[in-house]
Chain A
């Protein structure tokens, strides 16, 4: 089959990052082809859709926390734009979150977390048990207080995916469903993608946004240092007449972590495991049991909810848990991957950044100007230097 001349851009990846990039690039009047795998569900569909720059701030990851905070500010406009472009609701809710401690040891852990959040200048307020239960009445009376995090919100990850697919189609993106083969390498320059079917998608620039699979879709210098980190989420629904959750709750339960994200329709997403098991999508009994047990200890009423679905995804993990967005060491190849636990939160700013990179330095590494982008700390060269 003869393909038309090269596309301006080929985007590999049918998750929130690939779709957001393809949609934004198509809106800039570029010709875009999107390659989405049929075999691997994107991690986006197993996510909970929390937009949590505060609760996701971890020790040693202060720079990532800054990027996440910036990304959260971009969300209200992005949600409006994608809803306008698609005509669909994405369930963006400025609901705020609670972070709660079950036992006194968990409370001491939470105190440390709180001090760290304040040190970073993030909004975090201590609440006693009664104040927590006023905000989320389903919490067990035996809990030991928590933190009010008014800056952590949510979007419905599955509605978002549907809206992005619609927007991508409306923007004129060419969509190819299939498995990517090796990149087309023309004397050290990436000029397209081979498909497993034997076809070639020629493109002036390839954007690698294949999440956990990014690391194995290319070889050597073209492969970003991304590994799969399995996570599973459980979907529950309140039966009619049962009390519904009011708030996003992130719990510390006897030293383990879990989160519960209530949707407007009465369902709740419970997550998530973090498992270093390679490309493995198996659902093990133990981790599911642990999540359910922890959730029920925190909110006993959840035992009455129906169990709808267990979803598994592979997060794209990087050595420092930060994303990798920028020109790869191979000309013609841009990396927009490695978003680990924050893919949905970072999708709007990542798509903006990819458009900006293509506008200013088409097809090549950045020049000598100081890098003032929000992604300055998250460029590929922070890993490439070590490898060589």
Chain B
């Protein structure tokens, strides 16, 4: 055991994992190096956004097409370019399928990507998804050649229908956008993850690192985090915490948690220790 003490975390990981098994997250044939996707809205300054993105280790970040000018220098797009983070345009601010289609097509032009995080919200008080408009927009965008990642409710039926419509992933909410309430219906999230033929990305409601870890433990493939980082006292630290949480949650999920018991059970059994 002496050599284990001196070895790095990665050496230990090599020993506990199958070298053939890379456990990569693949969405629509593209391998992502991180299971953490970052939102970019609401950051106090470009510099603190840069620090948070770097600390997060993310390879994919959402950009609100309707809220920024993609040609602007010294800001978001420059930073993403510099850090080699891919842009995932979103349709934030859209209330109907028609608006979302228009926005997605503008994004495809502006950012030269056919990926889109599809958001169609019902109203600006709850910011909950409008499932009917969402499904109709998803069908149209898939037919138009987009790689569609829809932000949806935590209803397993809605998630199933979106996957059937050809979406590349589904993004159920943990709780309302920006609320930081964590995962309010873990049962539904686990149901969605268990049956989904496409990756499940928990989106919205993450308040702190344990929420992100829990999403992965429930079987989600990734999480998207925005406010929890941008509005934290130290965005860079929280981004780093999220990065570790996502790794920890994924490892725990793959390690297989023990079943819950109603009563204590000693970790070393006393019975039968002395045999003759």
Residues on A facing B (Cβ under 8 Å): 58-61, 112, 116, 215, 225-228, 255, 275-278, 280, 317-321
Contacts and interface: CB of A to CB of B under 8 A. Distances in A.
Given A60-B235, A276-B69, A321-B45, 16 more contacts: A59-B233, A61-B45, A225-B73, A227-B73, A276-B72, A276-B75, A276-B76, A277-B69, A278-B72, A280-B69, A317-B45, A318-B45, A318-B74, A319-B46, A319-B47, A320-B47
B75 A60 contact: no
A61 to B, nearest CB: 7
B45 A319 contact: yes
Contact of B233 (A112, A228, A278, A318): A112
A60 B72 contact: no
Interface in B210-240: 232-235
* 4 tightest Cβ-Cβ pairs between the two chains A and B: A278-B69, A320-B47, A321-B45, A225-B74
Contacts of A59: 44, 232-235
Contacts of B233: 59, 112, 116
A60 to B, nearest CB: 5
A261 to B, nearest CB: 22
Contact of B75 (A112, A227, A275, A280): A227
A215 B73 contact: yes
Interface in B230-276: 232-235
Contacts of B44: 58-61, 321
Contacts, number: 57
B71 interface: yes
7 contacts: A59-B44, A227-B73, A276-B67, A276-B72, A280-B69, A318-B74, A321-B45
Contacts of A116: 233
B75 A215 contact: no
Interface of B: 44-48, 50, 67-69, 71-76, 178, 232-235
A277 B74 CA distance: 13
B75 to A, nearest CB: 5
Contacts of B67: 275-276
Contacts of B73: 215, 225, 227
B46 A60 contact: no
Contacts of A318: 45, 74
B41 to A, nearest CB: 10
A76 to B, nearest CB: 29
A58 to B, nearest CB: 5
A58 B42 CA distance: 13
A1 B106 CA distance: 49
A238 B75 CA distance: 40
Nearest to A386: B82
B94 to A, nearest CB: 13
Contacts of B68: 276-277
